[in-house]
Structure 1
């Protein structure tokens, strides 16, 4: 029986080549897209699932939103240990940001060759209770308990020593040396942890407001997270901070997709990307399935006599349904095989797009899932056509009395309408995404990114000085370097320091204001727009931060927003006035006002900034901003690295064009737009495929009508428009469905941005015109062919 079904199916495929090819191509493209995205989603959702007790581990974060800033995942370890006072907390683990804070030396030498320890952190000794690590040699716990000890990842050990057998080896640095006590396997890609080297460091701090740790709490099962957050907040923040700062607990398993802080150890994913990808892949499979249903039902009249003959010979409805379902499943299986071939061909490009190293293992549960889904698609997509075709009456079919069922027509039109709605919505969404991305890329940042080369994380003692240091002078001497400035903040990352200003009129600010420590001529070095006053100048050396009788006096340049917050409508009126932070005893005299500057990422940027000359509060590193001749960038990079190595013991420095750093901030949104564009193209392609199939059958069915109209004098164009009208009406219904739904979904996505575009009416119009135009061209190409056929060839047997 099965063999007969198979032979009959193959015979049907041979007789209906166009129908078979359209179905296979459509399903294979849809399945290939679904496989790729399911593989990506599986990887994204697997992050940190392998960690010990992952479902009970939470990372502590501090919410500064009431003070005008965002939520950051950095906390004070001493405060973290105080959480053990609560019965819900079983254990506390912390990773210290020593690379960023420079509490440990990151620049080391081995055999007189300099190296930078990449992604260096200090961990508490209980690290293996929170992170699954494969220790290749030595003892991690001992390394994190012994001063001057180091643990290296396998890749770091190979990079520096050329072997992993390095336990007992030493690395020299400016203040002494490290002894390697352990080597561990590189962390897997599917974890938010991003360290490559671990060093021993003290964790306990008397200053409870100095935060430099990622703190993780292991909680008892069933803990009320909201209640514990409230208890931790009440314990940590009292006095002036009560009701203004809050403790949040973020689940370890959610960090990869939800954590957006610039202080993350490595770039994470986003729920938006996963949701969009999964949603679009499902839509593509649905569109391909709808194509299959539509074309099979439309093709049913060509197989009506076959059904009538089979029924006359005694075939039951069950046997007929089984026959047509077996054809459907066979098409799905063949499509699955072709889809897997397509997946292997495009996998490298897809990996590059989503920035992952995905591999498809066919001999796995995922491989079995692909087969199950393909068969399920074949069964579900073929179910309605099978029952529809098998329901034909043998008597009516063989007597030539076969009329189209209203249900079949309704199903075909509904599915085609849904396909067109999806295509319109996706075109609108992708066009809006591109507009928003272009808007973000061309935002007036307030500072210049062109011709700015930034050397990151240079020790403050080497460059952040009132008089030019030897390193500064040597950098200025490089050919092509036109100007040099120093700030203590990464412009595309986040603000490091804040103050609580009291305005010149004595009124206290309701929040905290970000501050940036700078060297002289910050307006020139960053290309700021000076609205009033002057730049920091060596002619006014007294503006440099100076501590006198417990009070720090410092010159400041404020942004326009700060001036207005201080109550000055005319920003020039604030010049010469003093802004004070009473808590830290800082007296800031305003000497200039600049246009607003956006510091941070595209979604959360600060504009209320105060630039303080020579002011550095606990920042161990600074950013050197070089204004350069673009033609000399490569040589400047090389010479700057040599100068830092020779005169500052800084090896393998991070040197990037500021324009490139800003583009990197938008990488996630760029990835979303690329994914949507690709899937939009596929959706439109599949919709055209379905329209082509249905239009070809419609043209064939209405050949006699076309012939009669030609005999009566109808032109080809009029006939084309008559045949296309049926499809264009469906497109009109699709537009009415797609517009409101798309408007709400796109608006919800745009709401995530502080700076965003308004949805453009013309985008909606273009999307409708594009889909209607493609539909008309597709139908017209077939209708024109039918209209060009001589009527005598069609009507000669009438």
Structure 2
């Protein structure tokens, strides 16, 4: 019976080649996207599952109060881990991680070779008790228990030492600290949130000697004992906080984040060390889009199959007259659908293999096409096939199989308004979804253009930040600055702790001694030239002093207008006033006021900012502004100067404008993915519309022949065949516009600076949808109108 159904299904496919090809191609696209997205979701959800104790591992989060904008920090105070070990018996192990330089690149020297290392971490030895990191050489129990020891990943050890055995050898960090190599471990898997290239002993750091509760800069992981709940432990964390920090100083609380949720549920958190952070919202959005396109493809199938009902009616009538039951016919039509979807699935797998490298390039993922043939994918692919078969074949199977023999064998089967309305409703659904995607792509593009053209309050063009983390001693830094200033086309040079677009120190500024709240402010230790270099607008006062005498405890600050507004001064009134900023010992005075500038992503509103000359932080960058010049030549000369002054350090730099672009990489990726999905959705919808138009033209060919004989023009016939479809697209616009407005307005709420969705977006989307529909339908309409009426009027 099944074999017979398949034979009939194959004959039906060959008898209706055009519609079969449209169905197969549309379903193939939908299934390809579904397969790739399933691989992506599976991969994203596989993060950190390789660790044996993953269910018991948590990261400590710091939840700040209103003075810190209720941010959630992934880093905790250095004093927390020792307190947990001694005061919380339910915690088996606790370990701190400090990314080198609070996220800065480390300069590594091995013999005479220099290297840049972005993934050097200083960790407690208990880290290896929490995470079962596989060691190739050395003993994880005591590898970093001593100060000045380090373990390297296999690839890093090979990079530093080549084929030589690195055990017992020394690497020098930032030309300052020597570390002995005491172990080699396997590289972290690609789906591990942690991805350390080098792990050094935490006891070697400043924080190990005097751990503080005030500086929240250390990722802290814990492993709970068996049968201990997360909720109970969080209560104990609060008890530890109450024991060690006065109520007045508690600007934060603690919570725990399960290891398995770190990758997908940390996108909105601050200070995360890992660059492998996903976003559950991205997965939801991509899944929705994939299902939408798959649904459109299934709708195509249902639409074209019901459209063919009149041609299939006699076949159904004869089979029913000969004794075939509705159930038997239902299975027959499902067999036809199953065959089409199976062929589509096979093509979809082949297309997925082609699409995966492109998907990896767009999204930055590491999907492997070999996963398509893994055991984990066989069952889901079978489910895909069954689900698509059931969805796509449901209406044709049940609708066609219910025809009565008498009605089916009538000379002209009256399908009735119900079926026609269903078909029209499916077309409306397809184009409503397509229009929503068009609006979304246009809005995302406009927002990105708005961000790109937004005045930032400073000029990042032609400015490069050269890292000086590997330079020890102020003499070499001063020499570097003087040499850089002497270069042709260099207009300004300034040493600074950081620059707009990267994080600098966070402090609190207070109106007076009685101000219990305060305002969070970012502070950046910098040279006097920094204002001119960034081309900031000085509203009052002057820049920082160029020279600070040895032993001078006075701290000069230049505040932005946001901070001055909080203090209640006008820019002119603020000059010379004391600024109560935490960590400056009540000795800070306002030297100048600059206009507000966007030192963070435009996702966030402008906050308080201060340039200062306190010796509380090091100046990690030499900022260089240059005039119009050949960029390769300019960079070559900068590198030559750097190498001459600091021969024992590597040259690392970043352009300020390129760094800013990275802040919106996710939005650009979203826009690109949106364009791709939008195009595919429209393509699949047009395939269905094309097939439906072809069938309509075929169904009305005798009517068209009669009209042509009576003098109808090609244009008139084309308009007649097109107008019904245009009406459906117009209805789709009415449905899609409010939905699209609501969705995109909600997306824009994530930006502090955003566009207003204008009427022109909807006009553009409407014109695009109508144009696409007209082009699709008109092709078949014109073809039908140009046909020879003699052939059209022949009797069957």
- 1:292 to 2:301 alignment: yes
1:469 paired with 2:478, answer yes
Q: Secondary structure at the match of 2:25?
A: helix
1:223 aligned residue (226, 230, 234)? 230
Choose the corresponding residue for 1:328, options 315, 318, 337: 337
Measure, in 2, the Cα distance between the counterparts of 1:425 and 1:408. 26
* Equivalence map 1:157-172=2 (5 Å): 157-163=157-163, 165-172=165-172
Looking at structure 2, the residues matched to 785 and 354 of structure 1 have their Cα atoms a distance apart, in angstroms, of: 42
Match of 1:590 in 2: 590
Contact 1:480–1:632 (8 Å) recurs in 2: no
SS of the residue corresponding to residue 46 of structure 1 reads: coil
Whether the 8 Å contact between 2:508 and 2:518 is mirrored in structure 1 is: no
CA distance in 1, matches of 2:471, 2:112: 24
- 1:772 aligned onto 2:781: no
Query: Are 1:257 and 2:287 matched, yes or no?
Result: no
Are the structure 2 counterparts of residues 650 and 433 from structure 1 closer, same or farther at C-alpha, using a change threshold of 3 Å?
farther
| Partner of residue 654, structure 1 | 652
**Per the alignment, in what secondary structure is the counterpart of residue 434 of structure 1?**
helix
C-alpha deviations, 1:375-395, integer Å up to 9, x for none?
A: 331233112212222222333
- 8 Å contact kept, 1:114–1:645: no
Of residues 331-340 and 715-724 in structure 1, the stretch that sits farther from structure 2 once superposed is 715-724
Pick closer, same or farther for the CA change 1:53–1:740 going to 2, 3 Å.
farther
Say if 2:391 is the partner of 1:383. Answer: no
Distance 1:176 1:127, change over 3 A: closer
Q: Kindly indicate whether the alpha-carbon contact (under 8 Å) linking 1:280 and 1:679 is maintained by their aligned counterparts in 2.
A: yes
1:459–1:620 contact (8 Å) kept in structure 2: no
Q: Is the 8 A contact 1:521 1:537 kept in 2?
A: no
Change in CA separation of 1:291 and 1:755 when aligned onto 2, cut-off 3 Å: same
State how far apart, in whole Å, the 2-side matches of 1:727 and 1:178 are: 74
- Indicate the residue corresponding to 1:493 in structure 2: 502
Equivalent residues in 2 for 1:366-765, closer than 5 Å: 366-456=377-467, 458=469, 462=473, 469-502=478-511, 510-536=518-544, 538=546, 541=547, 544=548, 552-568=553-569, 570-581=570-581, 584-604=584-604, 606-612=606-612, 614-617=613-616, 619-620=617-618, 622-629=620-627, 631-638=629-636, 640-641=638-639, 644=642, 647-648=645-646, 651-765=649-763
Structure 1 residue runs of 4 or more that deviate by more than 6 Å after TM superposition: 505-509
Number of residue pairs the alignment of both structures matches: 782
Q: Normalising by structure 1, report the TM-score.
A: 0.91
Output the TM-score relative to the length of structure 2.
0.92
Q: Tell me if the contact between 1:63 and 1:71 (Cα under 8 Å) persists in the aligned partners.
A: yes
Greater Cα shift, 288-297 or 6-15: 6-15
Are the counterparts in 1 of residues 556 and 614 from structure 2 also a CA contact under 8 Å?
no
Paired with 1:302 and 1:790, the residues of 2 have a C-alpha distance of: 22
1:278 aligns with 2:280: no
Counterpart Cα distance in 2 of 1:647 and 1:444: 36
| 8 A Cα contact 1:333 1:375, kept in partner | no
Q: Residues 731 and 771 of structure 1 are in contact (CA less than 8 Å); yes or no, is this contact kept in structure 2?
A: yes
Provide the C-alpha distance between the structure 1 equivalents of 2:360 and 2:130, rounded to a whole number of angstroms: 29
**Pair 1:378–1:545, CA change in 2 (3 A):** farther
- 1:733, CA displacement in angstroms? 2.6
Shift of 1:367: 3.4
Cα distance between partner residues in 1 of 2:48 and 2:549: 45
State the Cα distance separating 1:134 from its structure 2 match.
2.0
Of residues 787, 793, 796, the one that matches 1:795 is 793
Q: Is the 8 A contact 2:467 2:651 kept in 1?
A: yes
Distance 1:518 1:545 in 2: 15
SS in 2 for 1:257: coil
Q: What is the DSSP-based 3-state SS (H/G/I as helix, E as strand, rest coil) of the residue aligned with 2:95?
A: strand
Deviations 1:535-591 (A, max 9, x none): 3353xx3xx48755xxx31222221222222223x4233223332337742333333
The verdict on how the C-alpha distance between 1:99 and 1:176 changes in structure 2, with shifts beyond 3 A counting, is closer
Write the deviation string for residues 50-103 of structure 1: whole angstroms up to 9, x where unpaired: 22332332222323351145332222232233234245533312212234388x
**Is residue 205 from structure 1 mapped to residue 206 from structure 2 by the alignment?**
no
Q: Distance in 1 between matches of 2:440 and 2:549?
A: 51
Q: Residues 235 and 73 of structure 1: is their aligned pair in 2 closer, same or farther, counting only changes over 3 Å?
A: farther
Shift of 1:156: 0.6
> Residues 545 and 553 of structure 1 are in contact (CA less than 8 Å); yes or no, is this contact kept in structure 2?
no
CA shift for structure 1 position 440: 2.0
1:344 is matched with which residue? 353
1:28 matched to 2:35: no
Deviations 1:416-441 (A, max 9, x none): 11111111111111111111122222
Measure, in 2, the Cα distance between the counterparts of 1:164 and 1:736.
70
CA distance in 2, matches of 1:280, 1:229: 41
Matches within 5 A, 1:146-185: 146-163=146-163, 165-172=165-172, 174-175=175-176, 177-185=178-186
Alignment partner, residue 94 of structure 1: 96
Is the partner of 2:659 in helix, strand or coil?
A: helix
Shift of 1:644: 4.8
CA displacement 1:3-59 (0-9 Å, x = unmatched):
322322222111110011001100001111111111111111211122233233222
Q: Give the secondary structure class of the aligned counterpart of 1:214.
A: strand
Displacement of 1:494? 1.8
- In structure 1, what is the Cα distance between the partners aligned to 2:385 and 2:619? 56
Distance 1:265 1:640, change over 3 A: farther
Q: Distance in 1 between matches of 2:192 and 2:759?
A: 42
Equivalent pair of 1:157/1:164 in contact (CA under 8 Å):
no
Structure 2 distance, partners of 1:582, 1:195, is 33
Aligned to 1:356, the other structure's residue is in SS state: coil
Tell whether the 8 Å contact from 1:66 to 1:245 is kept in structure 2 after alignment.
no
Q: What is the SS of the residue equivalent to 1:651?
A: coil
Is residue 47 of structure 1 aligned with residue 52 of structure 2? no
Aligned 8 A contact 2:170 2:180 in 1: yes
Answer with 671-680 or 132-141: which moved more. Answer: 132-141
How big is the shift at 1:287? 0.7
State which drifts further: 109-118 or 288-297.
109-118
Structure 1 vs Structure 2 CA RMSD: 2.8
Cα distance 1:109–1:74, how it changes in 2: closer, same or farther (>3 A)? same
TM-fit CA distance, 1:638? 4.7
3-state SS of paired residue (1:736): helix
SS in 2 for 1:436: helix
> Deviation at 1:403?
1.1
Matching residue of 2:248: 240
Contact 1:501 / 1:513 at 8 angstroms: preserved in 2? Answer: no
Secondary structure of 1:178's aligned partner: strand
1:73-112 mapped onto 2 (5 Å cutoff): 73-84=74-85, 85-100=87-102, 106-112=106-112
Q: Tell me how far 1:742 sits from its aligned partner.
A: 2.0
The answer to whether residue 219 in structure 2 is matched with residue 214 in structure 1 is yes
In structure 1, list runs of 5 or more residues that go unmatched. Answer: none
3-state SS in 2 of match to 1:600 = coil
CA displacement at 1:184 relative to structure 2? 0.9
Whether contact under 8 Å (1:641, 1:651) holds in the other structure is no
